[in-house]
Every structure is written in C-alpha cells, then in structure tokens.
Structure 1
Amino acid sequence: MKITILGPWGAYPAAGGATAGYLLEFNGNRVLLDCGSGVLSILQNYMPLNELGAVVISHTHHDHVADLGCLQYACIIDTDLNKRTKALPIYVAGLQPTGHNPYPSMEGSEVVPFFEKEILHLHGMTFSFLKTFHGAYCLAMKIQSGSATIVYTADTYYDDSLIGFCADADLLIAETSFYAGQDAKKYGHMNSEEVGHLAQMAKVKKVVLTHLPHFGDIADLEDEVRVKFRGEVVLAATGLQFEV
C-alpha cells in the first residue's frame, strides 16, 4: 500500500495547502481518506478525478469534508462526459439515514453511511474502525492488506483504548494538533506528548504527525514526540509518500 499526504493541516489550509486528505493506492486502485479544504485541487496533481475508486470520510467536520460537494460535482461532469461509468462510493462515518442529509447521493456518486462495528473491503484492502473521542461522531481507520497495516487516528483526544487499535502498525498517521504540555483534550485533540506515548505504547514502526497547528514552530512537534517514542517520526507535508 502507498499513501500520499494531500492535506496535513487542521482547521483551515495554509496558503496553497489543504486540510485533511490522504490518497491510498493499492494494486492500481485509489481510495481517498477524507476530503478537506483544498484536497481536490492537490489530488489532481497525482491523478484524474475519474480514476478515484472510493472515498472514506472519518467525520463531517468542515476540515475533513469541505471539498466533498465539489468532488460530487466532478463526478456528475465525468459521468456526463462518459469518463466515469460507475458511481463513486463515498463512505461517510455516522451519517444518519433519516432526517436531513447534508451529503445526498448525486449522479455519479453514492453516499453510504457506515459505523464503528462495520468492516469495509475496498479494492483488496480491509478497513476496520474505532470510535474516537471528538466533538462529532468520528472513526479512526485501520487499513490492512496481507501483513501490512496503516492506522489513521482521524481526530481524537488521547485515550488508552487507542493503544490496542494502533498496536504494531507499520505506519501510524496521528493527529498532532497541540504542543507538549498544552491541554488538547478540551478541544477533542491530542498534543505531541500524547502522540509520542501512543506510538511508543502501541509499538508502531513509524509515526506521521498530521492535522498540524497554525501556531508555534511545527518542527518542535517532532522533537517533542521523540521524547516518548523511539521509532521514526515524520512531520506531514503535502506530497510526502509512504509505502508499507
């Protein structure tokens, strides 16, 4: 599996950047994890939109779904131009099937709600989930193919239950929204010290720090995580790629 960082920022994109978005590739198939602000523009540097095979959305906060409607419009256009012959499945965590649905299916795309206990099998990869600790219904993702495992925390404050879910991951993509010593929990996020503890206790091979803050010196996050974690630490940036 290969994963490309499209958007490393939390809350809003830095100039020319994007919030949460990650392109996952396996055996020529492509799945988008989250679709935040600016993601759609950056994604097209790597592939045409009509080749996207599925989308999995961790939760519906704006910095994770802001470009989703535009992606659906792209699916309409590609369908009308005969560039897309099958509807794009868009899996949205916690979306309720009754009442007002802010993300309806459209021509060229099918919105599918999913929940914590479900398992998704997408293009040779298995997705399992853990409900995280955040202001909205949010699911961390574990993606496995053969012996390779990627875990994406999505948004969450620290809790010991994350350790088992992340255990022995080849790659942990962890939200790191605050610096060591700062109270991230009240915002539903983790700080660098907590991410380092999680990575060390879960015995992951590599941790990528994402959902980055717009204050302070983000390079400090790496040093702060290394106080707790003895493995490889990487600061997320648009275009970085990892293979497991």
Structure 2
Amino acid sequence: MKIKVIGRWGAYPKRGEATAGFLLEVGTHKILLDCGSGVLSVLQNYIELHELTAVFVSHNHFDHMADLGSLQYACLIDMDLKQRDIPLQMLVAKESKADWTIPTLKGTIEQLINQDTIISFEDGLTLTFFQTDHDAYCLGVKVSYGGKKLVYTADTRYDETLIPHLQDADLLMTEASFYANFDAARYGHMNSSEAGLLASKAGVKKLLLTHLPHFGDIQLLREEASRNFSGEVVLAEYGLQIVL
C-alpha cells in the first residue's frame, strides 16, 4: 500500500501546489482521496488520469472537490479516445440523494456513500467510512489491505468518538489546520496539538499532518503534535510518498 501527497493545503493551493488530494496505490487500484483545487494538474506529474480507478470525495467544500468537474471532463475525453475502458467510480459523501449534486458525465459513475457504506474489492482491499465533526457532512475513510490499515479523517474537529475508527492504524492522515494556540473547533477544524492527542489516544503507529495553514512556520506543527504523540510525526510535503 502506497500513499502519495498530491495536495496538502487547506482553503486554497499555494503556488504550484494543491489543496486536499492523496493518491492511494494498492495492487491494481489507483484511488484518489479527495480532489481539491490544483489536484488534477499535480496528479499528472505521477500518473495518467485514465489510470485512476476511483475517487473518494469526503465532503462538498471546494478545497476537497474543486477539481472534480474537470476530472469528469478528462474521463469523458479518455472514454472517447478509448484510453479508458471503465468509467471512473466516484465515491461521494452524501447524507441523502437530496444532498448536493454534481453532473455525471460519460466516463464517470457516481456512488453515494455514507458512514454505513462498505466497499470491498476481490483482492481484499476494503474501504469503510465514518462521519467526522465538521460544518458539512463529511466522511473519513479507513483503508484495509494485506494486514495494513490507513485512515484519512478529512476535515474534523477534535472528537474522541473517532478513536474506534482510527485505532491501531499503521498511518493516520489528519488535519493540522491551525497551530496549538488556536481554537480550531471554532472553524470546524483541529489544531496540531489536538491531532497529536487523537493519534496518541488511538494508538496509531505514524501520524501524517496535512490540510496545512497559510501563515506562520508550518514546521512548528510537527513539533506541537509531537508533544502529545510519541510516535513518528510527518509533515505533508508535495510529492511525499509513504509505503505501508
């Protein structure tokens, strides 16, 4: 199981980079976790778009789904050029069919998912989902394969009810939207200190901090998280790859 950082910023992308987006490679699967602003451009530095087999969209905030429409156009073109044989599966977090809508074009198939959804593939890859505490309906995802477990919380306030979903993960990918002295919950997010505390209480092996702020010295985020978590803390960087 490999995970590559495509986008690491919250709100908007810094020059030449992207907001939330991660490429998960497991066996023959290439799954995009979130498709924020700038993700589509950056992703093509690593794979061709027609290689994607699925995309998970955690919630309907633009820094997590801004490039989804352009991705659908890419899939339509790839189908017409016969570079894509199977439509891209879009796993979109929604409370109900009446929730936010996106146009579905040739080359993509939308599947509504919620916290009760389980997606299993023939090779043993399993995706399960859990609701987080955010200002929009938002799902985190737990990826299980070959005895390894990766968890991505997407956006959330500090919430100890998430611990059972994160428990003993080989890698926890979670936000550090603010520094330790900020009341992140006011904005629907979590700060670096809270990220470290959540990782510690869940007993995870490694913590990846992402959804980073646009001010201050972001290197401090790692130091602040490490005060509460004794395991390895990694700050998301453009192109960083972690192998489990």
Cα offsets for 1:166-214 (capped at 9, x unmatched):
1100000011101112100011100011011111111111000000000
User: Is 1:119 aligned with 2:118?
Assistant: yes
CA contact (8 A) 2:124 2:146 kept: no
* AA aligned opposite 2:102: Y
Shift of 1:158: 0.4
Structure 1 residue matching 2:149: 3-state secondary structure: strand
Q: Which runs of 5+ in 2 are unaligned?
A: none
SS at match of 1:90: strand
Quick one: percent identity of the two aligned structures?
Answer: 53
Q: How many residues align?
A: 243
Partner Cα distance (1:59, 1:120) in 2: 18
Q: Distance in 1 between matches of 2:120 and 2:102?
A: 22
Aligned partners of 2:120, 2:60: CA distance in 1, in Å?
22
Match of 1:8 in 2: 8
Letter in 2 for 1:105: T
Secondary structure class of the residue paired with 1:208: strand
In structure 1, runs of 5+ residues without a counterpart are none
The aligned counterpart of 1:205 is 205
Partner in structure 1 of residue 69 of structure 2: 69
1:149 is matched with: 149
1:30-41 mapped onto 2 (5 Å cutoff): 30-41=30-41
Q: Which runs of 4+ in 1 moved over 2 A?
A: 95-99
Q: What does residue 232 of structure 1 align with? A: 232
Q: Supply the RMSD in Å over aligned alpha carbons.
A: 1.2
Aligned pairs for 1:78-227 within 5 A:
78-94=78-94, 96-98=96-98, 102-122=101-121, 124-227=124-227
Separation in 1, partners of 2:80, 2:6:
27
What secondary structure sits across from 1:209 in the alignment?
strand
Structure 2 letter corresponding to 1:52: L
Matched to 2:167, the amino acid is: A
Worse overlay, 6-15 or 111-120: 111-120
Q: Deviations over 1:25-83 (max 9, x none)?
A: 01132011100000001111111111110111111100000000000000111011111
- Check the 8 A contact 1:26/1:124 in 2, yes or no: no
Letter of the 2:45 counterpart: N
Distance 1:87 1:216 in 2: 42
TM (norm. structure 1) is: 0.97
The normalised TM-score by structure 2 is 0.97
Contact 1:141 1:152 in 2 (8 A): yes
- C-alpha change, 1:201 and 1:95, in structure 2 (3 Å) is closer
